[in-house]
């Protein structure tokens, strides 16, 4: 989010050195001595170590008890503001998620909005204090604090969804601006403003107010952890909004008290506060556009990394607050560490550890390991944490004095916003696949400290380019050779590809540019080989709803639609077999059982399907029947209708139409008692949108279902066990249900094109499902009260994790 956090009061270390790109001017040894000195360590004051400090210049402007009261008042207010700031983000994200079908890109866009408003808040803090002075600005700010009261509480209408022809990013940003923009903006100004106010409060520690962000950071982390674990399970969204409004009222009173303390405790003298050189984080004279550019880049990289790893995780698990806040909490935790008095993880240790994590990360980014799902997520989060620690460590090392506090936060926030703009706006427009995540990893490598000790060595060496180019040649040769090694076991092929590249990349680790480019070659090689392994690429496209790829298997017999990392449909290319549904929809699987035993065969039968994929379910349609698909992604509809790829819709024997938009919202417009069967088959990569599996969603499906109708849920998922949840929903709705977990033997050539699948069917009576008893594997649903019931107001995946 582009915020600086942590305790910055550390003892002076004369042996420390400024980084090469931030050196003090030669004449910076003589500065007016007008402020109190202390004995804090600073890793960037060696250039000022010759300046003597006279303790007689330290004067206390207030009594000790009053000093303590001032400090605690400012610290508690910062804590409260940060808590509100980070509670509102997942709350609003959850409110707006159903309007976009639960797609993970919704959170990235929300993060971009929050980062942009945070930048506006920091700009307001910087320029108003610069133009008006702290006292006048404090009085004016009291008026600004009252403005959010006009728009609270925060409410988002769940039925106010954008039309299919509206660009989702622009609509979402405008909606957020109208609903939460003003409250978030005002709260975001609190951090830098209160530090600036404290700097002129007359407190002995006022000359180094950075340490107050220790309290701010504690509030941020508390909010992020409390929301998914405490607040979300215990309170409805409307209750959360009301609680946030009350919290804002309390914060307003606390800020008024801080303003009063600042105005009344500020020294009467008009002499400008000057901080001695030995208190510098970075000399004022050395703050130039190179320094500002470094702050922007060092903030841009971890911001992009955070959004990249969040997208990767939520695309395959579930786009829910718990998984949103984990990377964000780690992001903030790195600020705690790098700005603390004695970091528990030093910069040198993090820099040493980083290559050991990034090299295996390359493989785990593109290759799925069926039994290592959680280890894969742990590797991504750990690598993200260490890389962010290095980036924020470099940022902390270059921080300036309190004189430039608001400017430092302004540029750092700008870098965070640029990370959000890159991931949410630029990357989806210029890249057809998720390239921004590997790019951010490469950029992070550039912030690794150069380990070479030769002072005469040039900053850039031609070998930093030539060696990665040679590695690219090696990678191309390995890829070509291993593609033709058809008799070699897959594990041996991957080892032969991974081991040489990993070894060479690791040898580059002491040269940041060389290591970054080498890692880029490694990323490109693994991605290319993985893509070729899945089949010949026919098309790759990307939009707000994710990356879709159409590939043909090596023998050309099957074409597949892959969304993210998950197969969303297959079809034989042979004209004689292309009417046969494959993947999770084959006739000998659970869905085949449903159509054979539960779906009426008469021409008037109406079937509603949420989720289109390749359109394979259309193969079950008979003459005169109507199959209506509800699909939120226009790219998916275009691909499913393209006869060069799939012909299920074109060959449909009945009437098959597609309605664009979120399945739940668009189905709500249908007349009641419309469908004989409703099929839920909505995926975003491997994640199932949570808002389609709530009590209110099931109530809607029942309204649109005929009295003797059936609801079928496709719940195949690598991470979540969804059958117990549906058992609880069925019990709550007074329905009965059965489930089947179909395991396909992939060694049997007769199962070509078939995939294992899990389905649940519900009806209003056991008699309606009696026909399934003749089919193997269908078990009655058994409700477990330990499983939390999902509603539009509360969802939790903790009890559903496999």
* pLDDT average, residue stretch 642-654: 93
- The pLDDT of residue 572: 92
* pLDDT average, residue stretch 615-634: 93
Residues found in the chain: 802
Handedness of CA 701, 702, 703, 704 (dihedral sign): positive
- The pLDDT of residue 671: 92
Distance CA 268, CA 254 (A): 24
Give one DSSP letter per residue of 162-180, joined into a string.
PPTTS-HHHHHHHHHHHHH
Which residues, in sequence order, are bridge partners of residue 684? 687
Handedness of CA 86, 89, 92, 93 (dihedral sign): negative
Residue 730 pLDDT greater than 70, yes or no: yes
- The pLDDT of residue 710: 94
pLDDT in tens, 569-598: 899 988 888 889 998 999 989 999 999 998
Mean pLDDT of the chain, nearest integer: 79
Residue 607 pLDDT greater than 90, yes or no: yes
Distance CA 377, CA 368 (A): 11
Q: Angle at the Cα of 260 (from 257 to 264), degrees rounded to 5?
A: 145
Among the listed residues 419, 407, 441, the one whose alpha carbon sits nearest the alpha carbon of residue 4 = 407
Per-residue confidence band for 265, with pLDDT thresholds at 50, 70 and 90: low
Among the listed residues 389, 769, 733, 369, the one whose alpha carbon sits nearest the alpha carbon of residue 530 = 369
Helices (H), 227-268: 232-234, 237-265
Secondary structure class of 342 (helix, strand, coil): coil
Per-residue confidence band for 20, with pLDDT thresholds at 50, 70 and 90: very low
Distance CA 59, CA 203 (A): 10
Distance CA 366, CA 564 (A): 10
Q: With DSSP H G I counted as helix, E B as strand and the rest as coil, what are the percentages for the chain, rounded to 5?
A: 55, 10, 35
CB 394, CB 298: distance < 8 Å: yes
CB 564, CB 434: distance < 8 Å: no
Highest mean pLDDT among 96-100, 234-238, 705-709: 705-709
* pLDDT average, residue stretch 441-449: 90
- The pLDDT of residue 62: 43
- pTM value is 0.75
Residue 518 pLDDT greater than 80, yes or no: yes
CB 362, CB 523: distance < 8 Å: yes
Per-residue confidence band for 46, with pLDDT thresholds at 50, 70 and 90: very low
Which residues, in sequence order, are bridge partners of residue 559? 552, 571
Residue 108, CA atoms < 13 Å, CB-side half-sphere: 34
- The pLDDT of residue 742: 86
Whole-number percent of the chain with pLDDT over 70: 79
Token pair recorded at residue 173: 């940003």
Per-residue confidence band for 206, with pLDDT thresholds at 50, 70 and 90: low
- The pLDDT of residue 122: 83
Secondary structure class of 615 (helix, strand, coil): coil
Distance CA 135, CA 456 (A): 51
Residue 283 pLDDT greater than 90, yes or no: no
Distance CA 622, CA 652 (A): 8
Give the residue with greater pLDDT, 17 vs 145: 145
Among the listed residues 720, 661, 712, 711, the one whose alpha carbon sits nearest the alpha carbon of residue 688 = 720
- The pLDDT of residue 636: 93
Give the residue with greater pLDDT, 801 vs 31: 801
Among the listed residues 325, 423, 309, 442, the one whose alpha carbon sits nearest the alpha carbon of residue 376 = 309
Distance CA 300, CA 290 (A): 15
Using H for helix, E for strand and C for coil, what is the string for 665-696?
HHHCCCCCCCEEEEEECCCECCECCHHHCCHH
Handedness of CA 41, 46, 48, 52 (dihedral sign): positive
Count the neighbouring beta carbons within 10 Å of the beta carbon of residue 483: 13
Close Cβ partners of 708 (under 8 Å, ≥ 6 residues apart): 763, 764, 768
Cα Rg of the chain, angstroms = 30
Per-residue confidence band for 744, with pLDDT thresholds at 50, 70 and 90: confident
Phi/psi for 711 (5° steps) reads -115, 130
Among the listed residues 160, 165, 184, 150, the one whose alpha carbon sits nearest the alpha carbon of residue 95 = 160
* pLDDT average, residue stretch 739-764: 84
Per-residue confidence band for 1, with pLDDT thresholds at 50, 70 and 90: very low
Distance CA 14, CA 90 (A): 44
- The pLDDT of residue 112: 87
Whole-number percent of the chain with pLDDT over 90: 25
Residue 629 pLDDT greater than 90, yes or no: yes
Token pair recorded at residue 552: 């043909």
Distance CA 311, CA 671 (A): 36
Q: Which of 41-55, 238-252, 333-347, 520-534 has the lowest mean pLDDT?
A: 41-55
Peptide bond between residue 153 and the one before it cis (omega within 30 degrees of 0): yes
Q: Which of 318-332, 621-635, 653-667 has the lowest mean pLDDT?
A: 318-332
CA dist 57 to 41, 60, 117, 276, 504, Å? 19, 10, 41, 11, 57
- The pLDDT of residue 272: 41
Highest mean pLDDT among 205-219, 394-408, 462-476, 491-505: 462-476
* Location of structure tokens 């959004």: 307
- The pLDDT of residue 276: 42
Q: From its phi and psi, is residue 734 left (phi > 0), alpha (psi between -120 and 50) or beta?
A: left
């Amino acid at each position: 989010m582009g915020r600086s956090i942590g305790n910055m009061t550390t003892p002076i270390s004369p042996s420390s050195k400024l980084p090469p790109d931030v050196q003090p001017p030669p004449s910076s040894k003589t500065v007016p001595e007008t402020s109190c000195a202390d004995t804090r360590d600073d890793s960037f004051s060696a250039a000022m170590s010759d300046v003597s400090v006279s303790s007689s210049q330290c004067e206390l402007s207030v009594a000790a008890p009053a000093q303590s009261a001032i400090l605690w008042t400012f610290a508690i207010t910062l804590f409260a503001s940060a808590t509100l700031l980070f509670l509102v983000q997942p709350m609003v994200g959850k409110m707006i998620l159903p309007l976009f079908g639960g797609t993970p890109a919704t959170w990235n866009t929300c993060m971009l909005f929050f980062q942009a408003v945070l930048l506006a808040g920091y700009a307001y803090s910087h320029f108003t204090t610069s133009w008006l002075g702290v006292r006048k600005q404090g009085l004016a700010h009291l008026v600004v604090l009252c403005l959010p009261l006009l728009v609270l509480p925060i409410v988002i209408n769940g039925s106010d969804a954008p039309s299919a022809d509206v660009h989702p990013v622009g609509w979402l940003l405008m909606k957020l601006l109208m609903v939460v923009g003003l409250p978030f903006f005002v709260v975001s100004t609190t951090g830098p403003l209160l530090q600036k106010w404290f700097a002129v409060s007359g407190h002995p520690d006022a000359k180094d107010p950075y340490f107050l962000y220790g309290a701010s950071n504690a509030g941020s982390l508390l909010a992020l952890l409390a929301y998914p674990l405490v607040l979300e399970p215990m309170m409805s969204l409307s209750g959360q909004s009301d609680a946030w409004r009350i919290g804002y009222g309390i914060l307003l009173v606390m800020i008024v008290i801080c303003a009063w303390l600042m105005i009344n405790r500020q020294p009467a003298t008009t002499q400008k506060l000057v901080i001695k050189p030995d208190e510098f984080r970075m000399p004022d004279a050395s703050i130039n556009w190179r320094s500002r550019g470094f702050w922007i880049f060092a903030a841009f990289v971890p911001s992009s990394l955070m959004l990249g790893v969040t997208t990767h995780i939520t695309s395959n698990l579930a786009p829910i607050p718990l998984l949103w806040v984990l990377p964000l909490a780690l992001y903030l935790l790195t600020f705690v560490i790098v700005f603390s008095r004695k970091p528990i993880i030093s910069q040198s240790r993090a820099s040493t550890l980083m290559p050991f994590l990034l090299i295996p990360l390359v493989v785990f980014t593109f290759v799925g390991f069926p039994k290592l799902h959680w280890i894969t997520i742990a590797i991504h989060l750990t690598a993200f944490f260490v890389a962010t620690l290095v980036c924020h460590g470099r940022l902390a090392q270059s921080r300036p004095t309190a004189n430039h506090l608001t400017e430092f936060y302004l540029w750092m926030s700008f870098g965070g916003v640029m990370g959000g703009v890159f991931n949410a706006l630029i990357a989806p427009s210029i890249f057809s696949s998720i390239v921004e995540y590997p790019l951010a990893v490469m950029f992070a490598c550039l912030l690794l400290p150069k380990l070479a000790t030769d002072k005469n060595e040039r900053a850039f060496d031609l070998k930093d380019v030539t060696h990665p180019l040679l590695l690219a040649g090696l990678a191309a040769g390995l890829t070509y050779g291993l593609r033709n090694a058809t008799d070699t076991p897959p594990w041996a092929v991957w080892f032969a590809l991974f081991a040489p590249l990993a070894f060479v990349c690791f040898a580059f680790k002491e040269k940041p540019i060389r290591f970054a480019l080498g890692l880029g070659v490694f990323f490109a090689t693994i991605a290319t080989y993985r893509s070729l392994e899945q089949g010949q690429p026919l098309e790759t496209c990307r939009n707000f709803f994710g990356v879709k790829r159409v590939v043909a298997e090596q023998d050309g017999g099957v074409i597949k639609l892959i969304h993210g990392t998950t197969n969303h449909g297959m079809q034989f290319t042979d004209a004689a077999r292309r009417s046969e549904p494959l993947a999770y929809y084959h006739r000998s699987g659970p869905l085949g059982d449903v159509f054979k035993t539960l779906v009426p065969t008469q021409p008037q039968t109406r079937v509603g399907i949420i989720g289109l994929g390749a359109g394979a379910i259309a193969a079950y349609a008979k003459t005169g029947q109507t199959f209506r698909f509800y699909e939120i992604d226009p790219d998916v509809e275009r691909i499913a209708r393209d006869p060069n790829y799939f012909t299920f819709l074109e060959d449909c024997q009945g009437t098959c139409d597609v309605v664009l938009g979120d399945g739940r919202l668009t189905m709500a417009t249908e007349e009641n008692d419309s469908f004989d069967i409703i099929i839920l088959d909505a995926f975003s990569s491997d994640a199932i949108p949570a808002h389609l599996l709530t009590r209110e969603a099931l109530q809607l499906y029942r309204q649109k279902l005929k009295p003797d109708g059936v609801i079928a849920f496709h719940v195949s998922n690598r991470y979540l066990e969804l059958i117990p949840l549906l058992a609880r929903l069925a019990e709550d709705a007074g329905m009965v249900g059965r489930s089947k977990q179909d395991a396909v033997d992939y060694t049997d050539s007769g199962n070509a094109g078939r995939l294992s699948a899990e389905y649940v069917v519900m009806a209003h009576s056991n008699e309606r499902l009696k026909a399934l008893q003749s089919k193997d594997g269908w078990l009655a649903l058994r409700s477990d009260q330990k499983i939390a019931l999902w509603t539009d107001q509360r969802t939790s995946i903790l009890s559903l994790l496999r």
